[in-house]
Amino acid sequence: MNPQAPARFAALLILSWSLAILTGQELTLPQRPDSVRFAVFGDSGTGDTAQYEVAAQMVKLHEKFPFTFSLMLGDNMYGSERPQDFEKKFERPYKPLLDGKVDFYAVLGNHDDPNQRFYKPFNMNGQRYYSFKKGQVRFFGLDSNYMEPDQIAWLEKELQASGSDWKIPFFHHPLYSSGMHGSQIELRALLEPLFIKYGVDAVFAGHEHFYERIKPQHGISYFTSGGAAKLRSGDIRKTDLTASGFDRDRSFMLVEITGDELFFQTISREGTTVDKGMIRRRDAFKPATAATTGVGIPR
Amino acid sequence: MSMITRSTGILYKVWSCHLSRCSDSVHRQGATMLAMVVCFTMSTGIARGQPKPANPMAVTLADFSKRVDDYAGLHKRLAGQVGELDETKSPAEIAAREKKLGDAIRAARADAKQGALFTPEVSAIFKKLIQQESKGRSVRVKQQRNEAEEEVPAFTPQVNHIYPTTFPLATFPPHLLKVLPPLPKEVEYRIVAGHLILRDTEANLIVDFISQVTF
């Protein structure tokens, strides 16, 4: 055996490790002019070190990828919700982003007092569910804790009116998940037929404390991004659902929409890219009946 | 009258929902039979020129809706006095307004006891509706409903007390919302540790509750 072989092997190992880190940290989003750029994160409101570290990573990447708003996927505030908690669990960690005019659009998680809808920095306009438009993208913020018939009727009306825009609902409970809580099948029975009927393109949810990208279901891309502070390490079970998952550390997403393409990159607390890719917009608004989609109401 | 119509509508929804989930023909026939019996009983009474018979269940639910509407009216009046809350950058303002409204409602309903809205008759119907709705659900759905409840530590609700702010609000089963009487925006249902709670959405107060509700 060549006496230098172990040393060479070690050097190669270090080189490939460094390359992997460098590649992992690379920002791959195209940053095209006039694109819609945003961050996505959920289950953030602990006020602990992990939340602050994820927030710091977001701030760092905001310098390279100046996103203009963020989707907060619920559990914005764990435990008490006193004024000092809003400061500790939201205003302080995201201060550089707030100062940099990044808007936050929140939805309610099961740990959130519904009166958060009156908190202006969450941009909910005093409503438990609402929609807003950025460029050619229509977002639908839903209250998945309390999916009353009025909300379903409202969603259908809004989806119908959104025409050929990109359609992106976001809410707390994932319709598909390989984690501890699992896919929310009751909620899915109510929402998915509408998503299919009106050509929803992508869906963001939290609740599970990890990152997961689901293999497209009925042409829809589902993302779970609920690890912006809490983590359920090793919680992603091996199922046929997962296209990509990360449950070893906290994470958040960066997203860019330009024309018919949505680019995403998922970043860990340490700044490593744990997933990335692109999805294309589905055919612009082709009404279909739920019956033709094969989606029924599970029991 | 309109409340009875509304309640009859709810009964219809429960029946049709039950029917749609009955996979075997025996149950389907049973549900249809039940509806026919109810219709026949009602129509024979009308044909004989007797006073229009009121379905006892519809009457009870109409009474519940009236009590809820009365509560919502009180809430609105007191919210007007306390001042409507607009969006604000100040969490302190939100908390202060929530407390002020809660105090005002508590003072106005100082003598309120359990059963003020969920009367014993209403409670019995609600328990039955919830059980019926849950009966046909899969094990997985029932499991998820229980899991959502278990996220909240056990506690004993009390009328006029605030819902503990440090506890999560258990997610409400969406299909159950389709069969329970609709509520005005001032209140909402929550199921926590086996209690069905009627919660004031802005004051975070427990307006009333039914105990020992099971899926």
Q: Least CA distance to A188: which residue of chain B?
A: B174
- B146 reaches A (C-beta below 8 A): no
Fill in the DSSP letter of residue A91. I
- A187 reaches B (C-beta below 8 A): yes
* C-alpha closest to that of A285 among A159, A142, A170, A153: A159
- A291 reaches B (C-beta below 8 A): no
**CB distance A254 to A61 below 8 Å:** yes
Which residues of chain A have a CB within 8 Å of the CB of B170? 110
What pLDDT shows up at residue B22?
38
- Over residues A44-87, the pLDDT tens digits come to 999 999 999 999 999 999 999 999 999 999 999 999 999 999 99
Which residues of chain A have a CB within 8 Å of the CB of B147? 181
3-state secondary structure chain B: CHHHHHHHHHHHHHHHHHHHHCCCHHHHHHHHHHHHHHHHHHHHHHHCCCCCCCCHHHHHHHHHHHHHHHHHHHHHHHHHHHCCCCCECCHHHHHHHHHHHHHHHHHHCCCCCCCCCCCHHHHHHHHHHHHHHHHCCCHHHHHHHHHHHHCCCCCCCCCCCECCCCCCCCCCCHHHHHHCCCCCCCEEEEEECCEEEEEECCCCEEEEEECCCCC
- A80 reaches B (C-beta below 8 A): yes
**CB distance B34 to B22 below 8 Å:** no
**Residue for token digits 């896919």?**
A183
What pLDDT shows up at residue A218?
96
Strand partners, B20: none
What pLDDT shows up at residue B49?
52
What pLDDT shows up at residue B85?
86
Q: What is the rounded average pLDDT for all residues in chain A?
A: 90
- Over residues A207-218, the pLDDT tens digits come to 999 999 999 999
Which residues of chain A have a CB within 8 Å of the CB of B90? 83
Quick check: helix, strand or coil at residue A95?
A: helix
Quick check: helix, strand or coil at residue A283?
A: coil
CB contact under 8 A, A111 and B168: yes
Q: How far is B37 from chain A (nearest CA, A)?
A: 27
Which residues of chain B have a CB within 8 Å of the CB of A111? 168-169
Q: Least CA distance to A90: which residue of chain B?
A: B91
pLDDT over 70 percentage in chain A: 86
- Any idea what the Cα angle at residue B144 is, between residues B28 and A225, rounded to 5°? 130
**CB distance A166 to A281 below 8 Å:** yes
- B100 reaches A (C-beta below 8 A): no
Confidence of residue A12 (pLDDT cuts 50, 70, 90): low
- Over residues A218-236, the pLDDT tens digits come to 999 999 999 999 999 999 9
Which residue of A145, A150, A189 is in closest CB contact with B172? A145
Q: Least CA distance to B184: which residue of chain A?
A: A150
The pTM of the full predicted model, rounded to 2 decimals, is 0.84
- Over residues A122-131, the pLDDT tens digits come to 999 999 999 9
Which residues of chain A have a CB within 8 Å of the CB of B86? 118, 126
Which residue of A119, A148, A184 is in closest CB contact with B144? A184
Confidence of residue A22 (pLDDT cuts 50, 70, 90): very low
- A184 reaches B (C-beta below 8 A): yes
ipTM of the complex in this document: 0.81
**Residue for token digits 């007390």?**
B161
CB contact under 8 A, B95 and A120: no
> Which segments in chain B show pLDDT lower than 50?
1-3, 14-48
What pLDDT shows up at residue B19?
44
Q: What is the mean pLDDT of residues A254-271?
A: 97
CB contact under 8 A, B169 and A147: no
Q: How far is A235 from chain B (nearest CA, A)?
A: 16
The edge-to-edge listing of strands for the beta sheet with A251-258 is A103-106, A69-72, A36-41, A251-258, A261-268, A273-280
What pLDDT shows up at residue B153?
77
Q: How far is A183 from chain B (nearest CA, A)?
A: 9
CB contact under 8 A, A120 and B88: yes
What pLDDT shows up at residue A291?
34
Residue A149 CB partners (closer than 8 Å, separation 6+): B177, B178, B182
For residue A43, pLDDT beyond 90: yes
What pLDDT shows up at residue A283?
67
Residue among A46, A116, A125, A146 with most chain B CBs within 10 A, to mutate:
A146
CB contact under 8 A, B171 and A121: no
Higher-pLDDT residue of B8 and A289 is B8
- Over residues B152-197, the pLDDT tens digits come to 777 889 999 998 878 888 889 999 999 999 999 999 999 888 899 9
**CB distance B87 to A118 below 8 Å:** yes
- A103 reaches B (C-beta below 8 A): no
What pLDDT shows up at residue B170?
82
What pLDDT shows up at residue B144?
85
* C-alpha closest to that of B214 among B130, B125, B91: B130
Strand partners, B196: B191, B210
CB contact under 8 A, A184 and B166: no
- B138 reaches A (C-beta below 8 A): yes
What pLDDT shows up at residue A37?
98
What pLDDT shows up at residue B147?
80
